[in-house]
A and B are shown apart, each in its own frame.
Chain A
């Protein structure tokens, strides 16, 4: 029976990892292509959650999950056009400062617009409760969440690996100057990547809003996890981040099973161990512009 319990935690950890992935993948894409650690990524996650709460009041759960990421992706255009674009060629510390500052501004704006008290949005009644598959207990809502994550993941993979868009982006990650020499402007691609990245973060916020509270500091909470996932997975590697997110979810679940008090520390221990043996992360590629 003990083995079944452990397997249940593993499967649950994989589902949770899928959710982490939604936020970390965008962060990693923006970092890989633009060389910017977007510390405001969590802020877009929070805005996504708040938008979904506001939209759900009028249109219900489904439209809120669909419209909130689109609205945030539109904000992403402004974010890239008026802020990030100025820092691609600048000292990375400047973009860190700017995005960190933006995260603080957004958090305070949320307090002003929606208030400091936590908000709540309910999931549709049909998603409540669990289903038993064999001996495994699954929350219905998380199965839905998993399906959405798999769908998004497959779409992103196809976009990056089977479309001309992805070829340019992947080339841009490795040799920005060479892409430019071929007469391709990376700027519009970068805008699209930022839209995609912050849109995914917002989707994560909208999807998680029904099972957690929506509060102004939620962005600061998730950015830490997303950052750890990106570091463990490694830069430039789609599958590295996938592997890392799933691993973080499983390791957290297993740690809580055996040493509950250490549950939240487990991902940092994992990061330490991975960086000790693989400084570029699990599947991180050698990216020339990040090497000295």
Chain B
């Protein structure tokens, strides 16, 4: 038998365990002589499940566009890969522009990865449609001329839920304890939450930073119990929210739990009876809008399950880009930038059309608070959420919840 060196085995083992954290690329497609698009999203890690839905929505839009003749008579060819982490995301984005011949970049859910892709876009002066990352900083102090943002920012999510809490007498004089994802998005969400609490008479008595790889929350739950707050609030992201609500229900703590970020795939995974409280969403599959219903029906027919909000947002994002390329008859960055800055309206499968605000490049659109249907009322695992009224209300401007020019530090 070969003599084995213990240190060597352990070192190699550690190297492989470390390597497993890097993830592996998934390529949706990649062919020549077409309009090439570079797409990145998280397919592994705590946002991986959302990225899987994102690819389904993107692929469906690509197939529809290509089946109807493509854009300017050219088929869309999308190279879609796992962004893995911020530095890998930047490397892949640069490679997509340099070697894959991508005309522009799209995608991302992780705010930290989106920030590095934005830097690549700015350095190369190339267009980037940032789709699913929600950090305020991306459209604030880190904004740049070449990037446009589709998903609602942290500020809007906090205000969408915050206003529902104010309405339900769950804000003024209440003591909040928050758990915050320890990365760019979580920090932004916590800052927006703190501002909202201060403005509306809420009191923040504790905030814990939680690393994004935490799956086990019992030590945090014990700290919450020790602090005895009135309301517990989640500023977490991805599947962490699901783990928190499951373990919160497991411990049966008596304080109501709410949150400023939750994606529907993570809500579906919580299991019956575990999720409670008020949360925000950017879109939900039972939205009572005819265009949305058609999209949902087609998606279910194709994939056998309803679309999650990241499937929806990737779908409308590619449709938006197809419209932009068709109307400008170009894939050139500055032509696209100028087009979007003129604030054209886009069909986004909601009651009101959306547009990108010219000075911070943020898509103005409705958001929705939601609560959880009472036990026994859900038809199936996808029917657990009760969508609230759209915010802003139909008679209000779409940018009433967004940060104002005075509040935003974005300088293009």
- Answer whether A212 and B216 are a contact pair too, CB < 8 Å, given A120-B246, A227-B17: yes
Residues of B within 8 A of A91 (CB): 2
CB of A35 within 8 A of CB of B5, answer no
Of the candidates B10, B44, B270, which one forms a contact with A231 in the assembled complex, judged by CB atoms under 8 Å apart?
B10
CB distance from A101 to the nearest CB of B (A): 10
Interface string of B247-265 (1 = CB under 8 A from A): 1011111000000000001
CB distance from A259 to the nearest CB of B (A): 9
CB of A122 within 8 A of CB of B271, answer yes
CB of B272 within 8 A of CB of A13, answer no
Q: Could you say which of B5, B13, B265, B266 has the most chain A C-beta atoms within 10 Å of its C-beta? A: B13
CB distance from A94 to the nearest CB of B (A): 10
Verify if A217 is at the interface (C-beta below 8 Å from B): yes
Of the candidates A121, A224, A256, A292, which one forms a contact with B219 in the assembled complex, judged by CB atoms under 8 Å apart?
A256
| Number of A-B contacts defined by CB within 8 Å | 181
CB distance from A139 to the nearest CB of B (A): 5
Verify if A155 is at the interface (C-beta below 8 Å from B): no
Contacting A at CB under 8 A, from B159-198, are 182
Counting contact residues on chain B (CB < 8 A from A), the size range is 35 or more
Verify if B359 is at the interface (C-beta below 8 Å from A): no
Interface string of A256-268 (1 = CB under 8 A from B): 1100110111000
CB distance from B254 to the nearest CB of A (A): 10
Interface string of B217-240 (1 = CB under 8 A from A): 011101101100000000000010
Considering the chains assembled together, what is the distance between the CA atoms of A261 and B220 in angstroms? 11
Verify if B67 is at the interface (C-beta below 8 Å from A): no
CB of B269 within 8 A of CB of A119, answer yes
- Answer whether A13 and B247 are a contact pair too, CB < 8 Å, given A116-B49, A260-B208, A264-B213: no
Residue of B nearest to A137 (CB): B225
CB of A227 within 8 A of CB of B13, answer yes
CB of A35 within 8 A of CB of B4, answer yes
Contacting A at CB under 8 A, from B6-39, are 6-10, 12-14, 16-17, 19-21, 24
Residue of A nearest to B225 (CB): A137
Considering the chains assembled together, what is the distance between the CA atoms of A156 and B268 in angstroms? 38
CB of A96 within 8 A of CB of B249, answer no
Considering the chains assembled together, what is the distance between the CA atoms of A172 and B155 in angstroms? 62
- Answer whether A139 and B250 are a contact pair too, CB < 8 Å, given A92-B4, A120-B270: yes
Contacting B at CB under 8 A, from A107-134, are 111, 115-123, 128-130
CB distance from A283 to the nearest CB of B (A): 15
Considering the chains assembled together, what is the distance between the CA atoms of A97 and B7 in angstroms? 17
CB of B209 within 8 A of CB of A96, answer no
Contacting B at CB under 8 A, from A234-292, are 235, 252-253, 256-257, 260-261, 263-265, 279-280, 287, 289-292
Residues of B within 8 A of A90 (CB): 2
Of the candidates B209, B211, B215, which one forms a contact with A212 in the assembled complex, judged by CB atoms under 8 Å apart?
B215
- Answer whether A227 and B49 are a contact pair too, CB < 8 Å, given A5-B222, A16-B216, A213-B239: no
Verify if B66 is at the interface (C-beta below 8 Å from A): no
Of the candidates B6, B243, B249, which one forms a contact with A287 in the assembled complex, judged by CB atoms under 8 Å apart?
B6
Residues of B within 8 A of A211 (CB): 243, 246-247, 250
Interface string of A84-99 (1 = CB under 8 A from B): 0000111111001100
CB of A120 within 8 A of CB of B269, answer yes
Contacting A at CB under 8 A, from B277-320, are 305, 308
- Answer whether A16 and B218 are a contact pair too, CB < 8 Å, given A37-B13, A120-B271, A211-B247: yes
Residues of B within 8 A of A103 (CB): 20
Residue of B nearest to A104 (CB): B24
Residues of A within 8 A of B4 (CB): 35, 92, 289-290
Considering the chains assembled together, what is the distance between the CA atoms of A154 and B219 in angstroms? 27
CB of A39 within 8 A of CB of B250, answer no
Verify if B57 is at the interface (C-beta below 8 Å from A): no
Verify if B69 is at the interface (C-beta below 8 Å from A): no
Residues of A within 8 A of B211 (CB): 261, 263-265
Verify if A50 is at the interface (C-beta below 8 Å from B): no
CB of B252 within 8 A of CB of A128, answer yes
Counting contact residues on chain A (CB < 8 A from B), the size range is 35 or more
Residues of B within 8 A of A170 (CB): none
Q: Could you say which of B20, B246, B266 has the most chain A C-beta atoms within 10 Å of its C-beta? A: B20
Verify if B273 is at the interface (C-beta below 8 Å from A): yes
CB distance from A46 to the nearest CB of B (A): 12
Interface string of B66-91 (1 = CB under 8 A from A): 00000000000000000000000000
Residues of A within 8 A of B252 (CB): 128-130
Verify if B403 is at the interface (C-beta below 8 Å from A): no
- Answer whether A215 and B219 are a contact pair too, CB < 8 Å, given A264-B211, A291-B6: no
Verify if A189 is at the interface (C-beta below 8 Å from B): no
Interface string of A1-37 (1 = CB under 8 A from B): 0000100110011011000000000000000000101
CB of B218 within 8 A of CB of A257, answer no
CB of B270 within 8 A of CB of A100, answer no
CB of A92 within 8 A of CB of B216, answer no
Verify if B52 is at the interface (C-beta below 8 Å from A): yes
CB of B6 within 8 A of CB of A290, answer yes
Q: Could you say which of A120, A128, A292 has the most chain B C-beta atoms within 10 Å of its C-beta? A: A120
- Answer whether A142 and B17 are a contact pair too, CB < 8 Å, given A37-B9, A217-B44, A260-B210: no
Q: Could you say which of B10, B243, B247, B273 has the most chain A C-beta atoms within 10 Å of its C-beta? A: B10
Residue of A nearest to B53 (CB): A117
Of the candidates B6, B43, B214, which one forms a contact with A263 in the assembled complex, judged by CB atoms under 8 Å apart?
B214
CB distance from B20 to the nearest CB of A (A): 5
Q: Which 8 A-B pairs have the closest CB atoms?
A: A116-B52, A129-B252, A290-B6, A120-B271, A118-B269, A256-B219, A37-B13, A261-B209
Q: Could you list some 6 contacts between A and B, CB below 8 A?
A: A12-B218, A92-B4, A100-B16, A227-B17, A260-B220, A280-B6
Task: Kindly list 4 other residue pairs between chains A and B, CB separation below 8 angstroms, not including A221-B213, A261-B209.
Answer: A15-B218, A37-B9, A121-B271, A256-B223
Seen from chain B, the residues whose Cβ lies within 8 Å of a Cβ on chain A are: 1-10, 12-14, 16-17, 19-21, 24, 43-45, 48-49, 52-53, 182, 208-211, 213-216, 218-220, 222-223, 225-226, 239, 242-243, 246-247, 249-253, 265-266, 268-274, 305, 308
Seen from chain A, the residues whose Cβ lies within 8 Å of a Cβ on chain B are: 5, 8-9, 12-13, 15-16, 35, 37, 39, 88-93, 96-97, 100, 103-104, 111, 115-123, 128-130, 137, 139, 141-142, 176-177, 210-213, 215-218, 220-221, 223-224, 227, 231, 235, 252-253, 256-257, 260-261, 263-265, 279-280, 287, 289-292
